[in-house]
Chain A
Amino acid sequence: MQTQLNNPAGAPASKGAISIRNVTKVYDPDGAQVMAVDNCSMEIAPGEVCMIVGPSGCGKTTLLNAIAGFHSITGGEILLDGVPLCGAKKPLADQGSDRIVVFQNGALFPWKTLAENVAYGPMVQGRWPKAECIERARSALNEAGLGAVADKYPGEVSSGMARRAEIVRALINEPKVLLLDEPYRAMDALTKQIMHEALLEMYDRTKVTIYFITHDLEEAIFLGDRVYVMTTRPCRVKKVIDINLPRPRDYHTLTSEAFRLLVQEADEAVHEEAIKAFQAGEREMA
């Protein structure tokens, strides 16, 4: 089973280094120019869990959309393993299964069962024959503890299970980068904790690069290798916090002194931006 998510050699299947260099994004709805991202740079190492924290509507999602190829950028460039995804010549990146997004509100196809959802990516890419795709999807779901609900539709399972299945659907394609856009936003604290542990467990297995947007600081510090605190619009990197908490982490980490200190450090930076964002009073951008 391990071979399915990792490559046969057992080493990380792919690298997945993301370089975001001086990226700028200016929206111009109805002619008025709005700067969402201003000269933003980040270097994300392969296999790093990179947490992006910032006030609502600060432009975090704009960056994610640029990496995934949903939106164009207006300046700078983004590279994946040294290969440009988008830049001056090609403002919109191609969408591809090397960068898979897990969406805020969940985007499992409601008309497919969980197994069909997971099998969808490999099937349309022609990775394996159709029957094998379903077979592998089932065992991947089994491994994630979702074997019992593999034949249910997303509307029939809890949001926690659906979100976990969505991550399985992403990982079966062996992406270089997993892009998560506040995936646990709407969940209660207890479910969230279970989701975090499941994600950490999947991460320890696959070592995929993770770009994770959140505005929950504790979530960011608990999961991340590095936390980027962003400024309010236009979005820039305000502070980078390296998280040196040992892995594997579990809920004991949450009560450690080191964790508390990191939260305090990050909180000061975020709080300042939150106030700015609140005073600007702009409507949140999706």
Chain B
Amino acid sequence: MSVLADDAFAAGQRPAKAPRRQPTGFGLMAYRASKGVRSPTPYLMLFGISLWLVAYWMLCEGLQLPRFEKIPGPITILSDWLSRTPAQGTSVFTPEYYQHIYVSCRRIAIAFFLATLLGVPLGLLMGWSKTIKDYTFPVLETLRPIPIMAWVPLAILMFSGYETPVIFLATLASFFATTLNTMLGVQSIDESYFRAAGCLGSKKWDVFRHVVVPGALPFIFTGLQISVGVAWFSLVAAEMVSGDYGLGYLILSSYVNSVTVPMVIGMLTLGFVGWFSSAAVRWVGNRLMQWHVKALAMQGR
């Protein structure tokens, strides 16, 4: 070793630096952050957002183009949203605002939970067993295309109060998306995994636990992301028809009372919580599917 190093010095070369080991924990976070700051991504995002804001401002407040003059612009909205005494009654300081967010989020949580609880097992069974699929698929495929809004009257007839019909509608929309994706997920599993499992002496239950469920997981989580999206969609629609609280109710009641700022605040809030909810689903999925994340990473994605 020392001989080699001496030779290297003699040849006028620097001794080779030991390659850097992969940092862990906080070091890894710092490394990623510094790498992120050096990449164009954060700057492009900021630029994109400001471009959009400027365009919005020009349309509504700067130029006040026809058809846009009644729409509150970004400055009006932000000053009301962040004001302690909002002119139109809704801001981050009014408890009622949080009540709306809380009620909607709770409904989504219940609906999404129910839909997942029912949809994933049903989808798995439908994908796995031809018999179960034969029983259920025609019914499911007939009910699925019915727009959620068409279920509203039935939901109100069937369930009492404000809460249950709204949750029912969100659950229903979310359930169809989850079930279908889960079923497709099972069907997408390569036949050779089933054969390999058979060769290795699996019983039926082993195949279900070790092949069907993990094999369908990437599709299931794609389905869950879609399903949380359609749950929000149908929730807001339902809240507009029947409700006492919730972001959908906030938007419609603001419109009815001719206050436009809370209407837009409600919309933007929906955007943020919707984004957050699908990011949360994605995060859980990546936690459960390290194998998938790592395989994608090896492909440079």
Size of interface on B: residues with Cβ below 8 Å to A: 25
Task: Assess the A103–B201 pair: CB atoms within 8 A.
Answer: no
Kindly list chain B residues whose C-beta atoms are within 8 Å of the C-beta of A70: 195, 198
Write the B203-222 contact mask toward A (1 if CB under 8 angstroms, else 0). 10010001100110100000
Is A96 an interface position by the 8 A CB rule?
yes
Task: Assess the B214–A105 pair: CB atoms within 8 A.
Answer: no
Task: Assess the A107–B196 pair: CB atoms within 8 A.
Answer: yes
Task: Assess the B295–A153 pair: CB atoms within 8 A.
Answer: yes
Task: Assess the A156–B295 pair: CB atoms within 8 A.
Answer: yes
Task: Assess the B215–A103 pair: CB atoms within 8 A.
Answer: no
Q: How far is the CB of B222 from chain A (nearest CB, A)?
A: 16
- In whole angstroms, what is the CA distance A155 to B298 when docked? 7
Q: How far is the CB of B265 from chain A (nearest CB, A)?
A: 43
Given contacts A155-B298, A156-B294, contact A109 B199 (CB under 8 A): no
Where chain B touches its partner, the secondary structure class is helix
- In whole angstroms, what is the CA distance A96 to B200 when docked? 7
Is B24 an interface position by the 8 A CB rule?
no
- In whole angstroms, what is the CA distance A169 to B143 when docked? 45
Task: Assess the A153–B199 pair: CB atoms within 8 A.
Answer: no
Kindly list chain B residues whose C-beta atoms are within 8 Å of the C-beta of A156: 294-295, 298
Task: Assess the B294–A155 pair: CB atoms within 8 A.
Answer: yes
- In whole angstroms, what is the CA distance A124 to B201 when docked? 7
Kindly list chain B residues whose C-beta atoms are within 8 Å of the C-beta of A99: 199
Is B226 an interface position by the 8 A CB rule?
no
Contact of B200 among A69, A155, A169 (CB under 8 A): A169
Q: How far is the CB of A211 from chain B (nearest CB, A)?
A: 13
Is A101 an interface position by the 8 A CB rule?
yes
Kindly list chain A residues whose C-beta atoms are within 8 Å of the C-beta of B202: 124
With CB as the reference atom, state the residue of chain B lying closest to A157.
B298
Size of interface on A: residues with Cβ below 8 Å to B: 29
With CB as the reference atom, state the residue of chain B lying closest to A127.
B201
Task: Assess the B291–A173 pair: CB atoms within 8 A.
Answer: no
Q: How far is the CB of B156 from chain A (nearest CB, A)?
A: 44
Task: Assess the B195–A103 pair: CB atoms within 8 A.
Answer: yes
Contact of A111 among B195, B199, B291 (CB under 8 A): B291
Task: Assess the B298–A107 pair: CB atoms within 8 A.
Answer: no
- In whole angstroms, what is the CA distance A100 to B199 when docked? 5
Contact of B192 among A96, A103, A113, A154 (CB under 8 A): A103
Q: How far is the CB of A215 from chain B (nearest CB, A)?
A: 19
Kindly list chain A residues whose C-beta atoms are within 8 Å of the C-beta of B295: 110, 153-156
- In whole angstroms, what is the CA distance A97 to B198 when docked? 8
Q: How far is the CB of A264 from chain B (nearest CB, A)?
A: 35
With CB as the reference atom, state the residue of chain B lying closest to A65.
B195
- In whole angstroms, what is the CA distance A109 to B195 when docked? 11
- Which B residues, 98 to 129, have Cβ-Cβ distances below 8 Å to chain A? none
Task: Assess the B203–A124 pair: CB atoms within 8 A.
Answer: yes
Task: Assess the B290–A96 pair: CB atoms within 8 A.
Answer: no
Q: How far is the CB of A107 from chain B (nearest CB, A)?
A: 4
Q: How far is the CB of B204 from chain A (nearest CB, A)?
A: 11
Task: Assess the A121–B200 pair: CB atoms within 8 A.
Answer: yes
Write the A91-102 contact mask toward B (1 if CB under 8 angstroms, else 0). 000011101110
Q: How far is the CB of A162 from chain B (nearest CB, A)?
A: 11
Kindly list chain B residues whose C-beta atoms are within 8 Å of the C-beta of A169: 200
With CB as the reference atom, state the residue of chain A lying closest to B211.
A109
- In whole angstroms, what is the CA distance A113 to B214 when docked? 13
- In whole angstroms, what is the CA distance A120 to B201 when docked? 9
Is A125 an interface position by the 8 A CB rule?
yes
Given contacts A107-B193, A124-B206, contact A95 B290 (CB under 8 A): no
Given contacts A109-B214, A111-B214, A111-B215, contact A155 B201 (CB under 8 A): no
With CB as the reference atom, state the residue of chain A lying closest to B207.
A124
Is A137 an interface position by the 8 A CB rule?
no
Is A68 an interface position by the 8 A CB rule?
yes
Task: Assess the B291–A153 pair: CB atoms within 8 A.
Answer: yes
Given contacts A107-B192, A110-B295, contact A68 B199 (CB under 8 A): yes
With CB as the reference atom, state the residue of chain B lying closest to A181.
B192
- In whole angstroms, what is the CA distance A121 to B211 when docked? 13
Task: Assess the B201–A96 pair: CB atoms within 8 A.
Answer: yes
Q: How far is the CB of B214 from chain A (nearest CB, A)?
A: 4
- In whole angstroms, what is the CA distance A69 to B292 when docked? 30
Q: How far is the CB of A182 from chain B (nearest CB, A)?
A: 13
- In whole angstroms, what is the CA distance A69 to B196 when docked? 11
Kindly list chain A residues whose C-beta atoms are within 8 Å of the C-beta of B211: 109
- In whole angstroms, what is the CA distance A165 to B204 when docked? 24
Kindly list chain B residues whose C-beta atoms are within 8 Å of the C-beta of A97: 199-201
Task: Assess the B210–A101 pair: CB atoms within 8 A.
Answer: no
Kindly list chain B residues whose C-beta atoms are within 8 Å of the C-beta of A125: 200-201
Kindly list chain B residues whose C-beta atoms are within 8 Å of the C-beta of A101: 195-196, 199
Kindly list chain A residues whose C-beta atoms are within 8 Å of the C-beta of B134: none
Q: A residues within 8 Å of B by Cβ?
A: 68-70, 95-97, 99-101, 103, 105, 107-113, 120-121, 124-125, 153-156, 169-170, 173
Across chains A and B, which 5 residue pairs bring their CB atoms closest together, nearest first?
A155-B295, A121-B200, A95-B198, A111-B214, A107-B196
- 9 further A-B contacts with Cβ under 8 Å, apart from A99-B199, A111-B292, A155-B292, are A68-B195, A68-B199, A109-B193, A109-B210, A110-B292, A110-B295, A111-B215, A111-B217, A173-B201
